[in-house]
Structure formats: structure tokens, C-alpha cells
């Protein structure tokens, strides 16, 4: 082992790294298609020579030849990960002769993580863990060339949980300042710093000149040392040579170093020992200095960073408390409903979304993970993980892609001890509630003291005060009129004396009073003026969201009223409403006129029975649209638009039935799933919309669904009809497996030996013959046929 | 860099179920909106590389063998509209399925357009040679599994973020891989046509007497 360690090196001005490995191996005769990592075993001297040439040029840390040495990429290499990596570390160590440190080099898996691909977070974690254990003899771990922040997070966690080595994390960016998956520099810096890496930055991507603005952004966004390893310029697509000379490279790097905070420097693709020598000459003339980094707290998703330097709206609608439909959605596993709640809040102006899925009847942890994953696949705003259970918080923090807020910790010992360590480990922000074992203190002083205690305890664990957002708790003013003042006084003191950001749930204030919106709105405005940073509100309430927007204008935050004007001046471009008084419900559905159709349904309910409207008008209209579609008179999106219009009519009817206490109508429950291994689910989603609109209850299990999950659900919910989709020939076998499993499952058999479950299947490559062969009961060539099948199975109720 | 300024609407409409359909106003405006969103959100990326076919391990099955008859070299090609397209479609399928279907079709048309532009670039770079049309894994008996090899030779995961799943599906999903033979002699007139297509039994275009123009 070396006498110098990585942390000693960090105290020096600069750490010189090595240059390209692939470039050098190609020069040594690596053949097209040959796996570079196998050279560690087949030609160790070649690899050691490359290392040596970099050390001779002055490199203080060399990276092992293990960029792709994970068991997914190496599956056809003929060697195990352990063999390849331990050989690689040995080669590097031999070359070092204690003159340099050895970095275990780890690159991306080579497969996309969910939701873009099908690799799970846990699978990625296991792949990295294997590499980290195999590289136990290295001095430091380098993660390089990552494009997905969540994948990198899996790697960093695997490193932290399976070794005690320092970790350096680097991503690759395009000229627009984002990675292929859309990760911004700010989000990368904030998230990785939170995860406790020793240095972070950028490698590969572009030449040093093109990387300069990206590096600059890193230096502003982190207080950690910055790592920079550019390519030798841009590649020529044919000759695979790069266009920046060693001298120019070093000169450009000199400018980058002058930004400050840049400490670990080297080269990536196309760079050779000459580049490193030139770089050494430049750093020998320079002194390290630290750049001025942003001091405000911020939270982020992978793509969007929200700085808490002005009031930001936290949307509160993803929460079952007091919401009948939301509860129902959780019980039915209806993730799409939750997602639609998220999208509508974002469109209304939410900056951050609170996520609470706690319901006694469901497994909160499982649901939280599922919902967070799904939310990340459709919205860009950062999330706030809202749960009282540490295991739920932990599970959510693991798979969260970015830096979230935890809602919440409070002054109770139990809470402080269980929640704060998680906040520290994953680098989150946290909401601190000013209550403890003795309840909510009545006085501002009492609440302030709890806040102070929470902040001190956080600081003791290394969580900075800026990442603790204090909630001084809104009490109901009708019960205790002086309480409002106490809350606001505490808020102001927390803000000025503790330097913390503050948040407040607002709507509690008006409980028990008439005209609640008015009270809420004024209270919100008062709190903003006292320094409230994070109002937790219903963003769909325009009065509330508008108050925040207006406040920002009046408080001189929204400069030139730009945001305000943008929001309220934008002319809503809606399709012209055709308001012919002669339109019938049937016409409205056929033409996809939603507003029209709903109001016609409302009108019809005045004189007709609900079921009469459903069976006499809605269904026949849908059938007519279906027939048009079959004969090619309209095309698929039109069919869906009509179906959605019918849905809005059903919604009106459902609301009416709930009011009149009749039970809502479901024509039958159907499971839909895109089978294991397949991620093309648009067809399944279309079928879902249509079945929904025809009055069936769809249990949508999503895509890439294992046979066991489908069968388990069928057993548990006693389901008669199951629809499966698969797009590609390679995934049809999962369809076959699912049907076979159903036939083997005793709970799904009738006493006479026939199957309880009926399967209908669809997908581009499927044929009727094949469907029969794999034991499906119905082959549906399109969404319309799926509805026909459901009608056959459940009868025309 | 390839930049698209419009989407081939006729092609997209065909994906959605036929070009002979009469559209209503709301559909016209939906298509307008979707074209704009797709153009704003795609970031076309591609790679190609000339390779020698001998011992390449890329000739698997009869279809591609026949296709590359007489060629010693070929271009490997891959292209993608980028990761944002998938998110856009996914998000729409929660709020507005009709829109999701239009976006999906438009993105498919876009990736085809990107490929056509690559064809032009390659043709310009290969004067005096004759090129076959783009032949993709999945055509005839050319296995989808070979895509992983394509991407590895092109270094596509690292260079443009294009990967495959365990089941050989491309991710991001609106992506293409293909091989294009290079010949010194004029090639017999080829068409992709329906014979090599795995969908020829279920194809909705064939049923209506149309053609997907593959």
C-alpha cells in the first residue's frame, strides 16, 4: 500500500491524473470488437506499459483498465468480473511502484435504467457492488462518463456501502450543458455532493474549450474539488483522431483551472502521455484557489434545480387525507390517477411536489417506491417525500433521482434519531416540524426553541442549517385566534435568528370558518411577508398560486414582472368551441367535444335515469365511433378522443350517482399488462383508455410485468379477464409464460378443470395463429377488438 | 449534426391508421401541436462506421446474407431521437392518450427521416460505390439480438446514449439500427417490400391496399 493516500493528495494544489486508456490500447494493436478489459489478463504488460507512460509524464493517480468491467458487459468475455478487475488493479499497482495511486475505474453499465430502459436500480447497484468488491485493492474509486444521475447514484451508494474508499464521480455532458438523459450540471453537482463524494466533475464529452462553460457551472454549484478530464478536442468521425494538440490542450486547461476549485485534472479520449506532460508544465505554474460557490439551498430532480432563494410552491395534492378518489386510486393501484394529479399541479405552477401515499390498507413502502419511480418518469419538478416511517423514507431516498426534501422530522428524540441520519446519508433537505413529545408549544418562543434543537442536531450530523426547512405549524384560527400570530412570530425568528428556510401548510388556518379560501389567501400573504419560503398549498387553487405570483412582483423578486406577465398574458389557445344548440350528445362524442358533451350529460341527467343515458346514448355513440374506426373513416387518435369525451360524460354520471347514493357502475374488472421484458406499452395504454370508457374497471399493472405479478393479482382480486401486450418477437415468450403460469395455478382453475382466467392478447408482431398456439383465448388486432372481447366475456350489461 | 425542421406528416398519419382519413378541426390542431412539440424535444443523434464483413460475425441468417450478397464492406448505422421523446410520450399518455398516439407516430416518422438523412451523408462520402438499402435487425430472419453487437461496435451507449435491454429492445425506444452493404458494382434493384417483413400477416397497411414504403 502507498504511504500517501488520496486525502493527502487532496490537500495539494492539484492532482494530475492520466489520459486516455482506449486510445493507447488501440495504438498497441487492440482489434475491432476485442474487449479492452480482457487485455488485463491476456496482455498485462501492454496495460502496465500504458500506466507507466502516464506515471512518467507526471500522473499522480492512474485509473485501472476496467471502464466496462461489469458482469453485463463482460458476459461474453470469457472472464469473471473478479478476474478482470483484480488483474487490472495488479497491473496498475505494478506500474505504480508507489509513485502514484491506483483508482478503480468504473463506467456505466451499458444498459439504460428504468424508466428509459428496463434495468432496475437494484440490479445496477449489484453490478457496481461486484466491481467494487473485486477492486478492493485500489486506493480510490472513480466513476466516469455517466449520463444517468440515478445510475451514478447506484454506483456511489454501492461504493459507500461496500468499501471505505474515497469516491470521485464524473459525468459526461453535451454542449448544451446536459447529459444524454437530460441531467443538468447543477443537479449533478447538488446530488453528488449530497451523497458525500470527495470530488466531482466532468470527463469525456468534448474538448477543453467546449467544456469550459460546463466546468464553470460546476465550480459555481459545488464547494467540493472539481474533476476535469476532457477529450483531445472533437473526433473526426472517419479517422477517429482528435483535433487539439497537447500544447493547446494544456493551454485551454490552464484557463479552466483559473475558474477556481478545479483540482483533479487529466485527459480522456484521444489524450496521450504527451498531453499529460504538457498539462504538468501548466499546473506547475499555478496555485489552487477556491471558486465562489452559490450559498443558497437548492433541491433538484435530475433535470431541474429549484433554488430556495424566493417563495417556491410545494403542491400538496398527492395525499390521500380527506380525498376519496385518491384513496380509491391507491387501493386500486391506479398510478395514472396519481400521475395526472402531479401533472395538473405542475401545470398550475407547483415548483415542488409533496408525495404522501400513506394508507393503512396498503404497503406504504412498496407504493411510495412505485409512485416516486413513476413520477420521475413524467414530471421534472423535485419531489418531497412525505412519510413518518423511516423505512419508507429510506426506500424512497434510495431510488430518488436528485436531491429531495424529506417531510419530516420533529423535535422528538425518536424522530431526530431515525430521520436525520437518513437525511445526511442521502444528502437530502428536511422539513423540521416545531413539535415534540409534549406536543405543539403554544408560544412562538417554544416553537423557536424546538426549531433550534432540530437545527443543532442536524448540524451535529453534518447537515448544514440551510438544508433544514422549519415548519412553525399552522393552527386553526377558529379554535384559537391568537395562534396565527404565534406561528408567524416563530417563523420570523427562525428565519432571522437560525438562518433557516421556512415552510408552512396553509389551509389548516381556516378550518371551521365560512369562506375558507379568503382566510387562506390572506394568511398566505401575511406569511410570505414574514418570510415564508415554501408554502405547501393546492396549486390548482388559482387564488393561492396567484397570490404567490403577485407577492413576488410586489416584493421585487419577480424582476420586471416577467414571470407574472408571462403567466397572465398568455392567450390560451384552445380549439374554438363549436356551440351549436343542435349538437346532440352522440354528435359531441363522435366529434370529441369534451366540454359540450359533459354539459349535455348534465342536462340529460335532469330528465333521464343515469343508466338510460349510458346504455341509450353513450355506449351507442362509442359503438358508432368504433364502427367508423373499423371501416377506416376515422383514425386512432380520433377514436381515443371520442373515448375520452365519453369518459368525461361517465365522470359526470359517476359524480351524480355518488350524490344520489347509487353505487357506481362497473361492468367488470380487467387486468392489463405489457409483459416482462417489454417496455413498449403505448398499445396497452390505448386499450386501457377504451376499456375505461366503456365502463370496465381496468387494473393496469404497467409494463415489463413479471408473470408472477400478473397471476398473483388475478388470484387476489379474483379476475376473470386478463389482457397482455407485447410488441417484439423477443418478448412474446413472456406472454406464453404468463398464460402457462395461469394454467398451472390451482386457484385459477374451475372444479371441472377449465381455467377461470380468460386471456386476450395483442401486439404488432402477434398473429391469431400464434395467439392460439400460446393458449390465449382471444387475439385482438386493435383496441376496438379488445372492447368487443370484453363485451363477449362479461355480456352486454 | 442533423436537424429536422418538419415531420413527414403523411408518414406519421399512416402510422396512426391511414392517410385516407378525413380529419376534423380538433385533430388538425392536435397534429399541429404535436409536430411542434416533437421538433422542440427531439435531439437527433447518429453514428455510422464502415466495417469489413469478413469474420465480422454480423452475417446471421439468410435474409441479411442475401441482402449483402456481393458486398465485402458495409456501413453500420444507428440513430435515435433521444431520451426526451420517450418522456414526452409517456407524460402525454397519462393526460391525453390521443395526443400520446400522435406524438408516438410523429417520433417514429422522425427517426425514419433521420435515417434518410444519414443515407444521404453516407452516399456523399462513398462516391463511385453502390449501396444497398438499410437492412435492420428484425427484418426477415435477421435476429434482433444482433443489435447489441451493432451498438458495441459503434460504441453507441457511450457516444450517443443508445443501448439495448436484455430483450434486445432499443432504448431510447425511437431508435434504429441498420446495416448497408457497399458494392463496387451496380446492385440489382431491391426493395425492402413485404416479403422480408415480420408483420406481413398482420399489417394494417396491406389490408387497405397501402404500403408502408419500407
Q: Does B80 touch chain A (CB under 8 A)?
A: no
Which of A257, A283, A309 terminates a domain? The answer is A283
A411-452 pLDDT, tens digit per residue, is 999 999 999 999 999 999 999 999 999 999 999 999 999 999
CA trace torsion A217, A219, A220, A224 (10° rounding) = 130
Residue A576 lies in a domain: no
CB contact under 8 A, A640 and B144: no
Contacts of B205 in chain A (CB under 8 A): none
CA-to-CA distance for A227 and A209, rounded, in angstroms?
15
Q: Does B214 touch chain A (CB under 8 A)?
A: no
Mean pLDDT over A748-759 rounds to: 90
Residue A103 lies in a domain: yes
A631, A700: one domain: no
Output the domain CATH number for residue A598: 1.10.1240.10
Name the residue in chain A with its Cα closest to that of B150: A33
Q: Does B90 touch chain A (CB under 8 A)?
A: yes
Q: Quick one: pLDDT band at residue A254, thresholds 50, 70, 90?
A: very high
Mean pLDDT of all residues belonging to chain B: 88
Q: How many Cβ atoms sit within 10 Å of the Cβ of residue B52? A: 10
Q: Quick one: pLDDT band at residue A2, thresholds 50, 70, 90?
A: low
Element (H, E) at A478: none
A693, A639: one domain: no
CB contact under 8 A, A637 and B99: yes
Contacts of A638 in chain B (CB under 8 A): 21, 23-24, 27, 98
CB contact under 8 A, A638 and B27: yes
Residue A16 lies in a domain: yes
Range with the lowest mean pLDDT among A91-95, A656-660, A699-703, A770-774? A656-660
Output the domain CATH number for residue A737: 3.40.50.280
Q: How many Cβ atoms sit within 10 Å of the Cβ of residue A275? A: 30
CB contact under 8 A, A685 and B17: no
Q: Which of A74, A339, A637 to mutate to test the interface with B (most CBs of B within 10 A)?
A: A637
Determine what percent of chain B falls in helix, strand and coil, rounding each to the nearest 5: 45, 15, 40
CA-to-CA distance for A394 and A108, rounded, in angstroms?
24
- Specify the 3-state DSSP secondary structure of B99: helix
A783 vs chain B: nearest CA distance in angstroms?
A: 12
Which of A525, A541, A569 terminates a domain? The answer is A569
CB contact under 8 A, A33 and B97: no
CA-to-CA distance for A683 and A728, rounded, in angstroms?
12
Measured between CB atoms, which of A343, A378, A729 is closest to B144? A729
Range with the lowest mean pLDDT among A76-80, A538-542, A617-621? A617-621
Residue of A526, A546, A545, A455 whose CA lies nearest to A494: A455
Burial class (CB in 10 A: 0-12, 13-18, 19+), A637: buried
| pLDDT of A1 over the 50 cut | no
CB contact under 8 A, B97 and A629: no
Mean pLDDT over A20-34 rounds to: 85
Range with the lowest mean pLDDT among A579-588, A591-600, A603-612, B165-174? A579-588
Q: Quick one: pLDDT band at residue A236, thresholds 50, 70, 90?
A: confident
Q: How many domains does chain A have?
A: 4
| pLDDT of A328 over the 60 cut | yes
Q: Does A108 touch chain B (CB under 8 A)?
A: yes
Q: Which of A145, A173, A180 to mutate to test the interface with B (most CBs of B within 10 A)?
A: A180
A227, A359: one domain: no
Q: φ, ψ for residue B195 (rounded to 5)? A: -60, -40
A244-251 long-range contacts, Cβ below 8 Å, gap at least 24?
A244/A207, A244/A208, A244/A209, A244/A270, A246/A271, A246/A272, A246/A274, A246/A275, A246/A277, A246/A278, A247/A278, A249/A207, A249/A208, A249/A275, A249/A278, A249/A279, A250/A275, A250/A278, A250/A279, A250/A281, A250/A282, A251/A282
Element (H, E) at A633: none
| Per-residue DSSP letter, A277 | H
Number of H helices, E strands in chain A: 31, 24
Residue A237 is predicted with a pLDDT of 66
Residue of A760, A752, A751, A747 whose CA lies nearest to A792: A760
| pLDDT of A579 over the 60 cut | no
Q: Does A117 touch chain B (CB under 8 A)?
A: yes
Mean pLDDT of all residues belonging to chain A: 92
Which residues face A168 on adjacent strands? A142, A199
> Is-contact A411 A435, C-beta < 8 A?
yes
Q: Does B138 touch chain A (CB under 8 A)?
A: yes
Chain Cα centroid distance, residue A90: 38
A643, A732: one domain: no
A654, A674: one domain: no
CB contact under 8 A, A340 and B94: yes
Q: Which of A25, A635, A730 to mutate to test the interface with B (most CBs of B within 10 A)?
A: A635
Residue B192 is predicted with a pLDDT of 64
Mean pLDDT over A210-234 rounds to: 97
Q: Does A580 touch chain B (CB under 8 A)?
A: no
Residue of A382, A396, A390, A425 whose CA lies nearest to A410: A390
B155-177 pLDDT, tens digit per residue, is 999 999 999 998 899 999 999 99
CA trace torsion A619, A623, A624, A630 (10° rounding) = 160
Q: Grid cell 393526460 — which residue? A: B95
Most confident of A380-384, A627-631, A782-786, B49-53: A380-384
pTM score, whole prediction: 0.90
End-to-end CA distance of chain A: 77
Quote the domain boundaries for residue A757.
Answer: 669-794
Residue ranges of A 507-566 with Cβ closer than 8 A to chain B: none
Measured between CB atoms, which of A33, A640, A679 is closest to B169? A679
Residue ranges of B 99-128 with Cβ closer than 8 A to chain A: 99-102, 104, 125
| pLDDT of A7 over the 60 cut | yes
Residue A83 lies in a domain: yes
Contacts of A147 in chain B (CB under 8 A): 161
Residue A429 is predicted with a pLDDT of 98
Q: Quick one: pLDDT band at residue B19, thresholds 50, 70, 90?
A: low
Q: Does B173 touch chain A (CB under 8 A)?
A: yes
Residue ranges of A 466-505 with Cβ closer than 8 A to chain B: none
Q: Which CATH class is domain B9-207?
A: alpha beta
Q: Does B197 touch chain A (CB under 8 A)?
A: no
A648, A721: one domain: no
Name the residue in chain B with its Cα closest to that of A31: B153
Residue B109 is predicted with a pLDDT of 96
CB contact under 8 A, B16 and A764: no
CA-to-CA distance for A138 and A130, rounded, in angstroms?
14
Residue B203 is predicted with a pLDDT of 66
CA-to-CA distance for A92 and A136, rounded, in angstroms?
13
Contacts of A576 in chain B (CB under 8 A): 25
CA-to-CA distance for A595 and A652, rounded, in angstroms?
11
Residue ranges of A 368-407 with Cβ closer than 8 A to chain B: 377-379
Measured between CB atoms, which of B30, B83, B165 is closest to A118? B165
CA distances from A464 to A457, A499, A511, A555, B110 (A): 10, 10, 35, 27, 47
A655, A674: one domain: no
CA distances from A15 to A21, A61, A288, A565, B32 (A): 18, 8, 10, 49, 54
What one-character-per-residue DSSP string does A145-184 give? EE--HHHHHHHHHHHHHH----EEEEE---TTSB-TT--B
Residue A576 is predicted with a pLDDT of 47
> Is-contact B2 B46, C-beta < 8 A?
yes
CB contact under 8 A, A575 and B25: yes
Range with the lowest mean pLDDT among A339-343, A780-784, B14-18? B14-18
> Is-contact A590 A645, C-beta < 8 A?
no
CA-to-CA distance for A588 and A621, rounded, in angstroms?
9
| Per-residue DSSP letter, A139 | S
Cell numbers representing residue A498 in the block:
437560525
CB contact under 8 A, A33 and B98: no
Element (H, E) at B45: strand B45-52
Residue of A88, A78, A69, A175 whose CA lies nearest to A127: A69
Mean pLDDT over B97-110 rounds to: 94
Share of residues in chain A with pLDDT > 70 (%): 96
A474, A604: one domain: no
Q: Quick one: pLDDT band at residue A582, thresholds 50, 70, 90?
A: low
Element (H, E) at A47: helix A44-56
B176-192 pLDDT, tens digit per residue, is 999 999 998 887 766 66
Cβ contacts from A onto B, under 8 A: 169
> Is-contact A409 A415, C-beta < 8 A?
yes
Residue B61 is predicted with a pLDDT of 92
CA trace torsion A66, A69, A73, A75 (10° rounding) = 140
Q: How many Cβ atoms sit within 10 Å of the Cβ of residue A402? A: 27
Residue A290 lies in a domain: no
A599, A710: one domain: no
Residue A699 is predicted with a pLDDT of 93
| pLDDT of A663 over the 80 cut | no
What one-character-per-residue DSSP string does A407-453 give? EEEESSHHHHHHHHHHHHHHT-EEEEES-BTTB--SSHHHHHHHHHH
A635, A516: one domain: no
A270-326 pLDDT, tens digit per residue, is 999 999 999 999 999 999 999 998 988 999 999 999 999 999 999 999 999 989 889
Q: Does B14 touch chain A (CB under 8 A)?
A: no
Contacts of B84 in chain A (CB under 8 A): 182
A218, A321: one domain: no
Range with the lowest mean pLDDT among A219-228, A241-250, B6-15? B6-15
A80, A143: one domain: yes
Determine what percent of chain A falls in helix, strand and coil, rounding each to the nearest 5: 50, 15, 35
A446-470 pLDDT, tens digit per residue, is 999 999 999 999 999 999 999 999 9
B189 vs chain A: nearest CA distance in angstroms?
A: 28
Q: Does A751 touch chain B (CB under 8 A)?
A: no
CB contact under 8 A, A765 and B57: no
Tell me the residue ranges of DSSP E strands in A630-766: 669-674, 697-700, 721-725, 758-762
| pLDDT of A664 over the 80 cut | no
Residue A577 lies in a domain: no
Name the residue in chain B with its Cα closest to that of A303: B84
Q: Quick one: pLDDT band at residue A551, thresholds 50, 70, 90?
A: very high
CB contact under 8 A, A575 and B21: no
Domain residue ranges in chain B? 9-207
CA distances from B185 to B45, B117, B190 (A): 31, 23, 14
Residue A3 is predicted with a pLDDT of 57
Output the domain CATH number for residue A150: 3.20.20.330
Measured between CB atoms, which of A117, A145, A377 is closest to B87? A377
Mean pLDDT over B73-98 rounds to: 93
ipTM: 0.87
Amino acid at each position: 500500500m502507498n504511504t500517501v493516500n488520496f486525502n493527502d493528495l487532496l490537500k495539494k494544489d492539484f492532482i494530475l491524473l492520466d489520459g486516455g486508456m482506449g486510445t493507447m490500447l488501440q495504438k498497441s494493436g487492440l482489434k475491432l470488437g476485442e474487449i479492452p478489459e480482457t487485455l488485463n489478463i491476456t496482455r498485462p504488460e501492454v496495460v502496465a506499459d500504458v500506466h507507466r507512460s502516464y506515471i512518467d509524464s507526471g500522473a499522480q493517480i492512474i485509473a485501472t483498465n476496467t471502464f466496462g468491467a461489469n458482469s453485463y458487459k463482460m458476459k461474453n468475455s470469457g472472464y469473471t468480473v473478479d478476474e478482470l478487475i483484480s488483474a487490472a488493479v495488479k497491473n496498475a499497482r505494478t506500474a505504480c511502484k508507489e509513485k502514484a495511486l491506483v483508482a478503480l475505474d468504473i463506467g456505466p453499465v451499458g444498459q439504460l435504467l428504468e424508466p428509459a430502459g428496463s434495468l432496475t436500480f437494484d440490479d445496477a447497484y449489484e453490478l457496481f457492488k461486484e466491481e467494487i468488491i473485486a477492486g478492493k485493492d485500489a486506493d480510490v474509486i472513480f466513476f466516469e462518463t455517466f449520463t444517468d444521475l440515478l445510475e451514478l447514484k447506484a454506483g456511489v451508494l454501492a461504493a459507500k456501502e461496500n468499501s471505505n474508499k474515497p469516491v470521485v464521480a464524473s459525468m459526461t455532458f453535451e454542449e448544451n450543458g446536459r447529459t444524454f438523459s437530460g441531467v443538468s450540471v447543477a443537479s449533478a453537482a447538488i446530488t453528488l455532493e449530497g451523497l458525500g463524494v470527495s470530488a466531482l466533475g466532468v470527463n469525456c464529452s468534448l474538448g477543453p474549450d467546449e467544456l469550459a462553460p460546463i466546468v464553470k457551472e460546476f465550480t459555481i454549484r459545488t464547494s467540493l474539488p472539481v474533476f476535469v478530464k476532457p477529450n483531445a478536442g472533437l473526433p473526426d468521425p472517419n479517422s477517429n483522431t482528435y483535433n487539439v494538440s497537447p500544447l493547446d490542450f494544456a493551454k485551454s486547461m490552464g484557463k479552466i483551472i483559473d475558474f477556481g476549485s478545479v483540482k483533479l485534472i487529466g485527459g480522456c479520449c484521444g489524450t496521450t502521455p504527451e498531453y499529460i506532460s504538457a498539462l504538468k508544465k501548466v499546473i506547475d505554474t499555478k496555485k489552487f484557489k477556491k471558486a465562489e460557490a452559490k450559498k443558497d439551498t437548492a433541491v433538484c430532480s435530475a433535470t431541474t434545480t429549484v433554488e430556495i432563494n424566493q417563495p417556491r410552491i410545494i403542491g400538496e395534492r398527492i395525499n390521500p387525507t380527506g380525498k376519496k378518489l385518491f384513496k380509491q386510486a391507491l387501493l386500486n393501484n391506479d398510478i395514472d390517477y396519481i400521475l395526472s394529479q402531479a401533472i395538473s399541479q405542475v401545470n398550475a405552477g407547483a415548483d415542488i411536489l409533496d408525495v404522501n401515499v400513506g394508507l393503512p390498507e396498503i404497503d406504504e413502502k412498496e407504493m411510495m417506491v412505485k409512485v416516486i419511480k413513476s413520477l420521475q418518469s413524467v414530471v421534472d419538478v423535485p419531489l418531497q417525500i412525505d412519510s413518518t416511517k423511516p423505512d419508507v423514507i429510506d426506500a424512497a431516498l434510495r431510488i430518488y433521482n436528485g436531491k429531495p426534501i424529506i417531510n419530516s422530522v420533529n423535535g422528538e428524540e425518536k424522530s431526530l434519531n431515525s430521520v436525520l441520519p437518513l437525511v445526511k446519508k442521502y444528502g437530502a433537505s428536511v422539513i423540521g416540524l416545531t413539535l415534540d413529545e409534549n406536543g405543539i408549544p403554544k408560544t412562538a418562543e417554544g416553537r423557536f426553541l424546538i426549531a433550534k434543537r432540530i437545527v443543532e442536531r442536524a448540524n451535529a450530523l453534518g447537515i448544514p442549517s440551510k438544508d433544514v426547512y422549519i415548519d412553525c405549524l399552522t393552527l386553526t384560527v377558529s379554535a384559537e385566534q391568537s395562534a396565527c400570530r404565534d406561528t408567524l412570530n416563530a417563523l420570523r425568528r427562525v428565519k432571522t435568528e437560525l438562518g433557516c428556510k421556512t415552510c408552512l401548510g396553509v389551509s389548516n388556518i381556516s378550518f371551521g370558518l365560512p369562506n375558507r379560501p379568503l382566510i387562506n389567501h390572506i394568511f398566505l400573504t401575511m406569511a410570505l411577508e414574514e418570510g415564508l419560503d415554501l408554502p405547501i398549498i393546492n396549486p390548482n387553487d388559482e387564488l393561492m398560486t396567484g397570490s404567490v405570483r403577485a407577492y413576488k412582483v410586489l416584493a421585487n423578486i419577480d424582476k420586471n414582472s416577467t414571470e407574472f406577465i408571462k403567466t397572465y398574458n398568455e392567450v390560451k389557445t384552445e380549439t374554438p368551441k363549436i356551440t351549436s344548440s343542435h349538437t346532440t350528445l352522440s354528435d359531441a362524442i363522435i366529434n370529441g367535444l369534451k366540454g359540450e358533451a359533459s354539459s349535455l350529460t348534465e342536462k340529460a341527467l335532469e330528465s333521464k335515469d343515469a343508466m338510460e343515458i349510458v346504455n341509450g346514448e353513450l355506449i351507442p355513440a362509442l359503438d358508432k365511433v368504433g364502427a367508423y374506426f373499423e371501416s377506416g373513416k376515422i383514425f386512432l387518435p380520433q377514436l381515443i378522443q371520442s373515448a375520452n369525451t365519453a369518459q368525461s360524460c361517465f365522470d359526470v354520471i359517476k359524480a351524480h350517482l355518488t350524490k344520489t347514493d347509487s353505487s357506481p357502475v362497473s361492468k367488470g374488472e380487467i387486468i392489463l399488462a405489457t409483459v416482462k421484458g417489454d417496455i413498449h406499452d403505448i398499445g396497452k395504454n390505448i386499450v386501457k383508455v377504451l376499456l375505461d370508457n366503456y365502463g370496465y374497471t381496468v387494473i393496469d399493472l404497467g409494463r415489463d410485468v413479471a408473470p408472477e405479478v400478473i397471476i398473483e393479482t388475478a388470484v387476489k382480486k379474483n379476475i376473470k379477464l386478463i389482457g397482455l401486450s407485447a410488441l417484439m418477437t423477443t418478448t412474446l415468450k413472456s406472454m406464453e409464460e404468463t398464460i402457462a403460469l395461469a394454467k398451472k395455478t390451482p386457484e385459477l382453475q374451475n372444479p371441472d378443470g377449465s381455467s377461470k382466467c380468460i386471456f386476450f392478447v395483442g401486439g404488432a408482431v402477434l398473429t391469431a395463429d400464434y395467439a392460439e398456439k400460446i393458449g390465449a383465448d382471444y387475439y385482438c388486432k386493435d383496441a376496438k377488438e379488445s372492447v368487443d372481447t370484453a363485451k363477449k366475456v362479461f355480456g352486454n350489461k | 449534426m442533423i436537424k429536422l425542421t418538419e415531420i413527414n406528416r403523411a408518414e406519421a398519419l399512416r402510422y396512426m391508421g391511414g392517410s385516407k382519413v378525413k380529419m376534423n378541426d380538433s385533430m388538425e390542431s392536435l397534429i399541429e401541436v404535436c409536430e411542434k412539440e416533437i421538433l422542440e424535444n427531439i435531439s437527433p443523434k447518429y453514428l455510422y462506421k464502415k466495417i469489413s464483413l469478413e469474420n465480422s460475425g454480423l452475417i446471421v441468417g439468410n435474409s441479411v446474407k442475401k441482402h449483402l450478397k456481393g458486398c465485402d464492406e458495409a456501413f453500420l448505422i444507428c440513430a435515435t431521437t433521444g431520451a426526451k421523446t420517450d418522456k414526452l410520450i409517456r407524460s402525454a399518455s397519462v393526460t391525453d392518450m390521443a395526443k400520446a398516439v400522435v406524438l408516438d407516430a410523429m417520433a417514429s416518422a422522425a427517426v425514419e427521416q433521420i435515417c434518410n438523412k444519414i443515407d444521404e451523408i453516407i452516399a456523399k462520402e462513398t462516391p463511385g460505390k453502390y449501396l444497398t438499402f438499410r437492412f435492420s435487425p428484425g427484418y426477415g430472419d435477421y435476429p434482433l439480438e444482433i443489435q447489441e453487437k451493432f451498438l458495441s461496435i459503434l460504441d453507441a451507449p457511450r457516444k450517443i446514449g443508445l443501448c439495448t435491454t436484455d430483450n434486445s429492445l432499443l432504448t431510447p425506444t425511437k431508435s434504429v439500427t441498420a446495416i448497408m452493404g457497399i458494392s463496387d458494382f451496380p446492385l440489382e434493384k431491391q426493395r425492402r417490400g413485404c416479403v422480408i417483413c415480420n408483420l406481413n400477416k398482420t399489417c394494417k397497411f396491406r389490408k387497405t391496399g397501402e404500403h408502408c414504403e419500407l
